[in-house]
Amino acid sequence: MITLTPKAQETIARFIEQAGMPVAGLRISISDGGCSGHKYAMQLETAPAADDQVLPFGDVSLLVDPTSYPLLDGCTVDFVESLEGSGFKFENPNAKAACNCGKSFAA
């Protein structure tokens, strides 16, 4: 199970509203790379892939491919705003180590 905080849901809904096109949801995926081995990726999608997990959260849906889902299972996604900047923050129990930027992790 993946959890989206209310602030993350609100931010994603705003991005979808401003997209200017039909959006099926926000894809969250994991790919190789980053300074710790795996990195998070996010992008708006017009349609889910046939094998995606579609996770509804109020007015928004997350789309997760079957390869990424095990690495995201149990993850909480938040949106934080601070003096240092704003962005999505991942709290991932599957991460054995993470880099200081919070954008990549080792599983």
Q: Do 40 and 30 touch, CB atoms closer than 8 A?
A: yes
Percent of the chain exceeding pLDDT 90 equals 63
Output DSSP code: residue 14: H
CB atoms within 10 A of CB 93: 9
SS3 46: coil
Quick one: tokens of 70? Answer: 């095990």
Q: For the whole model, what pTM was predicted?
A: 0.84
> CA 19: distance to chain centroid?
17
Give the total residue count for the chain: 107
Say whether pLDDT at 37 is over 80: no
Q: What is the pLDDT of residue 95?
A: 78
Of 85 and 86, the one with more pLDDT = 86
